[in-house]
Structure 1
Amino acid sequence: MGSEHAERTGEYLEGIARIWQQDDLPAELEPYISVVKHFNRSGQLRYYPGSPLIARQLLREQDSLQLTELHPSDFPLLRAEFQKDNRARVERADGYQQLKAKLPPVSRRGLILIDPPYEMKTDYQAVVSGISEGYKRFATGTYALWYPVVLRQQIKRMIHDLEATGIRKILQIELAIRPDSDQRGMTASGMIVVNPPWKLEQQMNNVLPWLHSRLAPNGHGHTSVSWIVPE
């Protein structure tokens, strides 16, 4: 959190800094917050673990982790972090292509977490194509796609494209801390989950109001849990 980028943007001050030491934390958030505290044992918020580190901390003994990173600067760091972990495999590759190449897993069970950069407008179409290709090979997998809301129309188009794939059981979860805007900047973020665990809808309906009250104390924005495509 002391990096130049973190200090410049200050995003963490409106995010994790507001919730990680709350006494009334919902039970559903306890595993996640425990991971954050594991990396900040001094009681000061100095480090925030990325999704690969969070996933590793939550792995069971019988689980394995497949990590894909294409960025030339980030890949060596990711590889170095996991090089001694026998449960993890790190590859430099296009994540969208990996949805075709790596599925289905040997275990025939798995969670596919997709966290695109969204640096190009084509990412919104590419991720839908990737999920569609992955689903053809591994229809019982759980696919969890993170998305930012910068321009609402981009998200609407992505959802329309997902509906057109014919995939069933698609849940949308969203948290906004300010109203939609055409100005520069993210106003909300969300997850689109294909084949969600059966309690996820209920859990998110419990968690999101609490998160919203902490992250948007002025009451701006919204929360939503809804089915894009039901079962």
Structure 2
Amino acid sequence: MSTLLQWPLRQWQLFCLALAFFSRIPVPASTPYSPELLNQSSRYLSLVGLLLGALQALVLLLAAQLLPFSIAVLLSLISGLVLTGAFHEDGLADTADGLGGGLSLDRKLEIMKDSRVGTYGLVALFSVFLIKWQSLFALDTQAVWALVLVAGLSRATAVSLTFVLPYQQLDVVSKSKPIATSLQKRALLSIWLFVLPFLYFIPLSLTLSLLAILALSFILLFFYYRSQLQGYTGDLLGAAQQVTELSLYLVWLIWWRQQG
């Protein structure tokens, strides 16, 4: 195979690998796998997020033709859980349990490795899901576009933390271990280039508001994770995605209400 054809084939394989790791969407069985390839596939995480968000938006549009809008929004959120296998939500619950119930570093990691969900995790899951549901419902027609864009932006923000925080080596069974090795800077550029152009299609004032909350979320998560675990784990990345997603919905809703 010529070099000209090898590059797009390799990129397609990396995208499929990212899709398989971060979602339940089937990919070709011939897709090659190795920890190194999975590490490289992280550059497509925001693109995977955009695809997942688009599928959720499609569910919302179709369901809204037959059901009340509040139910349609609920179904779109549930479809997101099905598409990802609640991958990020699991990280949110484990993070809430670990950081909420552990006092020492080792104890926090021990709790986060436990597959059982505790009180902190349940409260976090319920609260985040409920607020997301009501925010999207209140966004009305804006909800479709919000689902797509926020899915990409929140995942880009979460994976960007791996470039500024060390991987917490004590967490030997972390979900993120295959992607926790050093990522090249050009991968970070790719992650954001997939999603940032979509900001062109929304008003400038909304774009600036979303970018501001992204920067704030990133800074706060960076300092909080560094103070709690001196680094990151897969669970913390999942929690970062969920927290950022929720923050973006709320800011979008504030902007939308001001327009009225």
TM-score by length of 1: 0.28
State the structure with bigger RCO (CA 8 A, min sep 6), 1 or 2.
Answer: 2
More strand by share: 1
More helix by share: 2
